[in-house]
Structure 1
Amino acid sequence: MYTKTNYGMMPRTMTNLMDDLFFNGLGKGYEMASVPVNIKETKDSYELHAVAPGLKKEDFRINVDKNNLTISFDHKEEKKETDGEDKWLRSEYKTRSFKRTFTMNEKVDTTKITARYTDGVLVVTLAKKEITEPTAQEIAVN
């Protein structure tokens, strides 16, 4: 299969697919990228694992608005200074801003949400509410 690129028609390879995805798809006119997220349920909580390597924990913004949880990172472009005769010939390290919003159900205790960032993975823990089972009872008619 052939695809049209900036260099003309080229065979579709994995490199072309990656370029299309990261540079031609989200990069043109749409600055917000996405991060992959895994969601795990434990006995006491839900955990969102977001893969976002190379960032600092201070870079993340996590907000709760009603039943929506939003995780975001706003990338500020840095100018690379060159000193002496050294200069960058090519720079492929790209960091894009991202924003993900999740709708939480009524089982989440929004007052007990925690987050930690370790080894390039942001883990947001959503504690479950204590839910009491309704008991069976008979209602007397007066």
Structure 2
Amino acid sequence: MTLVKRNYNNWNSLLEDFWGSVANNHSEKELNVPPVNIQENKEAFQLDLAAPGLQKQDFKLSVNEGLFTISFEKVNSPETKVEKMHRQEFSTQSFKRTFTLDEKIDAENISAKYENGILQITLPKKEEVKVPSKEISVL
């Protein structure tokens, strides 16, 4: 670890540096956002969202005005009484992830499946419209 000496001319720069470092040090886990892997091939983009312990009916996927949203809303259910719980670390929390779709994505044919704790979403690419070449004669 290296000690970095900074010269703060006023309180605003000190506060900006402090709050900027606090905001940048939050991990996705602390912000309650499940991690996503995004892959691309010739036909589609593949999103893999890690969300173990949920059911496929728990997810809500929607497309609205060029935004693709994946969400899960935790519903409080009556808890079953365990005789003597010493420690409880398992929990699920609501989340929402939103991605911007560009004009290359065929939003009408997005598909998803949930298997082994991974939500796999396929975002197919649109067929490229090819304009036939044409010779133009000069008059």
User: Match for 1:137: what amino acid?
Assistant: K
The secondary structure found in structure 2 opposite 1:111 is: helix
Aligned to 1:42: 41
Give the whole-Å Cα distance in 1 for the aligned partners of 2:96 and 2:90.
19
- Structure 2 partner of 1:55: 54
- Give 3-state SS (helix, strand or coil) of 2:110's partner: strand
2:102 corresponds to 1:105: yes
Q: 1:21 to 1:138 in 2, by over 3 A?
A: closer
Aligned partner letter, 1:123: Q
Counterpart of 2:6 in structure 1 is none
2:76 paired residue number: 77
Aligned partner of residue 131 in structure 2, secondary structure: coil
- Cα offset for 1:140? 5.6
TM-score computed with the length of structure 1 as normaliser: 0.70
Distance apart, 1:75 and its partner CA: 0.8
**Structure 1 residue ranges (4+ consecutive) displaced by more than 4 angstroms after TM superposition:** 20-23, 138-142
Q: CA deviation at 1:93?
A: 0.6
Aligned-pair RMSD on alpha carbons?
2.4
CA drift at 1:133: 3.1
Shift of 1:80: 2.4
Equivalent pairs counted in the alignment come to 115
More strand by share: 1
- Determine the structure 2 residue equivalent to 1:65: 64
Write the distance in 2 (CA, Å) between the matches of 1:101 and 1:57. 18
Give ranges in structure 2 of 5+ residues lacking alignment: 2-25
Give the 3 Å change call, closer, same or farther, for CA 95–22 of structure 1 in structure 2: farther
CA shift, 1:138, in A, is 4.3
Give ranges in structure 1 of 5+ residues lacking alignment: 2-19, 27-32
Report the TM-score, using the length of structure 2 for normalisation: 0.72
Percent of pairs identical after alignment? Answer: 42
Compared CA separation, residues 65 and 35, structure 1 to 2 (3 A) = same
